[in-house]
Amino acid sequence: AKSRGKGKSEVFDRAMHDRASERLHLETGLRRAVEHGELYLAYQPIFRLADRTTVSFEALARWRHPVRGLLSPAVFIPVAEASGLILALGDWVLRECCKRMRLWLDEHPGAADMSIAANISAKQLMQGDLVARVARILDETGLDPRHLKLEVTESVLMENAELAVDILGRLRDLGIRLAVDDFGTGYSSLSYLRRFPVDALKIDRSFVSNMDVNPEKFEIVRAIVQLGRALNLDVCAEGVETEAELAGLVSLGCGLGQGYLYARPLPADEARAFIPPPGEE
Ligand code: C2E
Ligand code: CA
Ligand code: CA
Ligand code: CA
């Protein structure tokens, strides 16, 4: 039994070592990636469920790795967070999407009421002097703040709710919009939710997926939509993949959605085809 225990711990050490070197490897690569233009943003349309009109885009980071191919943010964002690189990466993401929105506004009159949404990580929110950074990027890119939306996950907000209330308030004062991401997974206290100066709730995909055949999910989505209505917030369902899910969401009065049913995250030149023609509002 003893030798088996030792064997196990060797296997464990080895696995730890592999993970550590994988992380270090990615971290080194990520530094280079930002400088060498290996990162890009994919844009996923967010649409009004009732008439399937695009109202916004969410910017999602992608890494075109020279050896490993396309890497998911689920792989490299945690590495960026742990290493502190997230601040530089986050600035890059914000600058890219502000530039993109600015360009689309110039080229497409139909984009006049649209916004672009960027994801903000825990470190960016809590340690990064985010308000000053966002203000500077808006200034540099000349984007009207009302076209920018920031998404922060519910769990990040609840980790340090008092501080979050303060930072969100100062971001709001810049004139940008805010959304609580992955809502339903982070145990918000309702009193805090009321105090967060946000504009929208995004229902986590785990509740939307198969909600038409899973009564518990259906009821959770119903509760979130009602909560949004009570607090006067937009509600956006993530990960809408089927017509049945869409019909369920519409029956509950959910206003907005995003998902493969309508469009996948797309490179900028393909995403722009989803900007509505002028005068359709
Ligand atoms: P998220 O913010 O919850 O983003 C939504 C994720 O759901 C995206 O995954 C998107 O591609 C995926 N998705 C959208 N519609 C569907 C659908 O119908 N079905 C399925 N199965 N998935 C769908 P992605 O792009 O892999 O991003 C994963 C996470 O990485 C994001 O989750 C976000 O938390 C994080 N992330 C992405 N870009 C950034 C970034 O620039 N900064 C930060 N801090 N985090 C980012
Ligand atoms: Ca998001
Ligand atoms: Ca989300
Ligand atoms: Ca999610």
| Model pLDDT for residues 67-113, shown as the tens digit of each residue | 889 999 999 999 999 988 999 999 999 999 999 999 999 999 999 99
Distance CA 46, CA 200 (A): 12
**Any atom of ligand 1 within 6 Å of the Cβ of 119:** yes
The full length of the chain comes to: 281
Distance CA 276, CA 213 (A): 32
Q: Which atom of ligand 1 has the smallest separation from the CA of 240?
A: 18
Which helix (H) or strand (E) segment holds residue 53: the answer is strand 53-65
**8 Å CB contact between 275 and 104:** yes
Minimal-distance CA residue to ligand 1 atom 3: 182
Q: Which atom of ligand 1 has the smallest separation from the CA of 120?
A: 44
C-alpha 92 – ligand 1 centre gap (Å): 17
| Strand 234-237 with 69-71, pairing | unpaired
**Any atom of ligand 1 within 6 Å of the Cβ of 96:** no
Q: What's the first-to-final CA gap in the chain, in angstroms? A: 71
116's tokens = 């672009």
Pocket test for ligand 1, best of 39, 56, 60 (most atoms within 8 A of CB): 60
**8 Å CB contact between 192 and 165:** yes
Helical H segments across 128-214, by residue range: 130-141, 154-159, 161-173, 190-195, 205-208
C-alpha 224 – ligand 2 centre gap (Å): 17
Is it the case that residue 8 has pLDDT exceeding 90? no
Place of tokens 């030149």: 269
185's tokens = 């997974």
**Any atom of ligand 1 within 6 Å of the Cβ of 61:** yes
Place of tokens 């649409």: 47
201's tokens = 């709730």
Distance CA 53, CA 139 (A): 29
Place of tokens 């960027």: 118
Question: Could you report the per-residue pLDDT of 57-75, keeping only the tens digit for each?
Answer: 999 999 999 888 999 999 9
Pocket test for ligand 1, best of 95, 119, 155, 243 (most atoms within 8 A of CB): 119
pLDDT band at 1 (very low <50, low <70, confident <90, very high): very low
pLDDT number for residue 2: 45
**Lowest mean per-residue pLDDT among 17-26, 75-84, 115-124:** 17-26
C-alpha 44 – ligand 4 centre gap (Å): 13
Three-class secondary structure of residue 239 per DSSP: coil
**Any atom of ligand 1 within 6 Å of the Cβ of 81:** no
**8 Å CB contact between 268 and 41:** yes
Which is more confident, 79 or 14? 79
**8 Å CB contact between 85 and 32:** no
**Any atom of ligand 1 within 6 Å of the Cβ of 265:** yes
Q: Is 140 exposed, middle or buried (0-12, 13-18, 19+ CB in 10 A)?
A: exposed
Which ligand is closest in space to the CA of residue 128? Answer: 1
C-alpha 233 – ligand 1 centre gap (Å): 21
Distance CA 232, CA 199 (A): 8
